[in-house]
Amino acid sequence: MRSIFEVCNVADFELIKEIAIPSISKIVLLVIDGVGGLPHPQTSKTELETAATPNLDKLAGQSICGLSEPVSPGITPGSGPGHLSLFGYDPLKFIIGRGVLEALGIGFDLEDNDVAARGNFCSINDQGEVTDRRAGRIPTENNAELCKLLNGWDIEGVRTIVRPVKEHRFVAVFRGEQLAGEVTDSDPQKTGVPPEAVTAVRSEAERMAHIANEFLKRAQDALSQHQPANMVLLRGFSKHPHFPAMGEVYGLSPAAIAGYPMYRGLAKLVGMKLLNPGAGIGEEFMTLKKHYNDYDFFFLHIKDSDSAGEDGDFQRKVSVIEEVDSLIPLLNDLEPDVLAVTGDHSTPSVLKSHSWHPVPVMLCSKWCRRDAVNEFSESACLSGGLGHIPATEFMPLAMANALKLTKFGA
């Protein structure tokens, strides 16, 4: 896998930085998480094709439509890559460490010098060999209790902050001076062998490796009487990456309206201002309206469509889409220069998970060169004017349609 230690290559932004011109025009990007789907076996229609979406369909008629590939054909993106891609950041270049991503997911506020690791409670036998990498997927409540045992230690001046995630998963944050993330995992990724010692990949990370091994030793002592979770495994040690901000790249003043920690964390990573989303989908739209004069780029994130897909609840996903549809007139009324609707990836209810299928996208602006599509769906967008685009091309298109890009070359 591409290493997070590779310095993020920002060369790709040179062109866009060069031609971006700040202006008062406004872009609204509505992300219906996991919006793409697969047909229901009985009706042969996807969630989006099943939902009654008069407003989205009308918008499609005024838009240029297409299908977008978050990473590349066949690749199922996680939330991180899916969103980075939409924001124009190549997800194969802008890598977020596993530990950091886990911390973002629980809304943990990482400091610049923190090193975060993704942790698993696991089971080991008397010989110290891992017998279950997930300790039987212990309930989240037990996890929370066990985290307290590991939290708040001082190891040679480094403080440990341990927070539960879900089931057997937790985040371990190491806070102190002179820590670097370039260390190997203790997770052997298989059973029947002992956890591995953490070792430094670069000499600057030797202190981190030492502290991590010390933490693991103490954790084994602290958990020795607990079954089945009598040990921990750590992986994906990483520091908060420093990505160029959208303001710097695009000359935008961007704001995010997102309820879930993961998406707020991702938005923050690319320099968006986080607005208070309120509770529920309607509230999110109202937040946008309220702050409409204060920013020129809005990322409006709807999570429930993805959750419904992940749960395999076809009908609930349909309902979420219909609720979003009912709120579209509120966006129309604001008359943004660019109003775009898409997802960060597909989450077909029949697969109960994210998937690799391309995502419908539509972009409405005065200058969009409309196509003949007048329905927002997977099959209709197939014949749209955008064709099949990498999701990373969405932002340049949105910028162009907002007349925020000048000519390249004389």
Six token digits for residue 177:
């001076």
Give the residue, chosen from 22, 73, 139, 192, that forms a contact with its own copies under the rule CB under 8 A.
73
Residue 45 to residue 355: CA distance in whole angstroms = 17
State which H helix or E strand residue 389 sits in: strand 387-390
Six token digits for residue 196:
């591995």
119 lies in the binding site for its own copies (CB under 8 A): no
Q: What are phi and psi of 149, to 5 degrees?
A: -65, -25
Residue 3 to residue 241: CA distance in whole angstroms = 13
Selected range binding its own copies among 74-82, 154-162, 176-184, 320-328, rule: CB under 8 A: 74-82
9 lies in the binding site for its own copies (CB under 8 A): no
Nearer to its own copies, 25 or 76 (CB): 76
Residue 266 to residue 31: CA distance in whole angstroms = 13
Give the residue, chosen from 31, 96, 208, 258, that forms a contact with its own copies under the rule CB under 8 A.
96
378 lies in the binding site for its own copies (CB under 8 A): yes
Nearer to its own copies, 62 or 326 (CB): 62
90 lies in the binding site for its own copies (CB under 8 A): no
Residue 79 to residue 126: CA distance in whole angstroms = 39
261 lies in the binding site for its own copies (CB under 8 A): no
Selected range binding its own copies among 131-139, 277-285, 313-321, 351-359, rule: CB under 8 A: 351-359
Residue 103 to residue 393: CA distance in whole angstroms = 28
Q: For the purposes of burial, counting CB atoms within 10 Å of the CB of 151, is it exposed (0-12), middle (13-18) or buried (19 or more)?
A: middle
Residues, the chain, total? 410
DSSP 317-368: HHHHHHHHHHHHHHHHHH--SEEEEE-SSB--TTTTS-B---EEEEEEETTS
Give the residue, chosen from 8, 10, 92, 149, that forms a contact with its own copies under the rule CB under 8 A.
92
Give the residue, chosen from 23, 76, 131, 140, that forms a contact with its own copies under the rule CB under 8 A.
76
CB of 338 to its own copies, least distance (A): 11
Residue 197 to residue 216: CA distance in whole angstroms = 9
Selected range binding its own copies among 14-22, 128-136, 181-189, 288-296, rule: CB under 8 A: 14-22
Residue 320 to residue 51: CA distance in whole angstroms = 9
Give the residue, chosen from 28, 56, 67, 246, that forms a contact with its own copies under the rule CB under 8 A.
67
Is the Cβ–Cβ distance between 391 and 15 less than 8 Å? Answer: no
385 lies in the binding site for its own copies (CB under 8 A): yes
Q: Write the binding mask 22 to 41 for its own copies: x where contact by CB under 8 A, - elsewhere.
A: ----------------xx--
353 lies in the binding site for its own copies (CB under 8 A): yes
102 lies in the binding site for its own copies (CB under 8 A): yes
Nearer to its own copies, 221 or 409 (CB): 409
| CB-based contacts of 144, cutoff 8 Å, min separation 6 | 164
Give the residue, chosen from 21, 52, 75, 197, that forms a contact with its own copies under the rule CB under 8 A.
75
Closest CA to 130 of 237, 223, 278, 233: 233
117 lies in the binding site for its own copies (CB under 8 A): no
DSSP 163-177: EE-STTEEEEEEESS
190 lies in the binding site for its own copies (CB under 8 A): no
Residue 187 to residue 180: CA distance in whole angstroms = 19
105 lies in the binding site for its own copies (CB under 8 A): yes
Q: What are phi and psi of 192, to 5 degrees?
A: 90, 0
CB of 367 to its own copies, least distance (A): 6
Give the residue, chosen from 80, 164, 228, 259, that forms a contact with its own copies under the rule CB under 8 A.
80
Residue 387 to residue 207: CA distance in whole angstroms = 51
CB of 218 to its own copies, least distance (A): 27
- Applying CB under 8 A, which residues contact its own copies? 1-2, 14-15, 17-19, 38-39, 67, 71-82, 91-92, 96, 98, 101-102, 105, 348, 350-351, 353-357, 367, 369-372, 378-379, 382-383, 385-389, 393, 395-401, 405-410
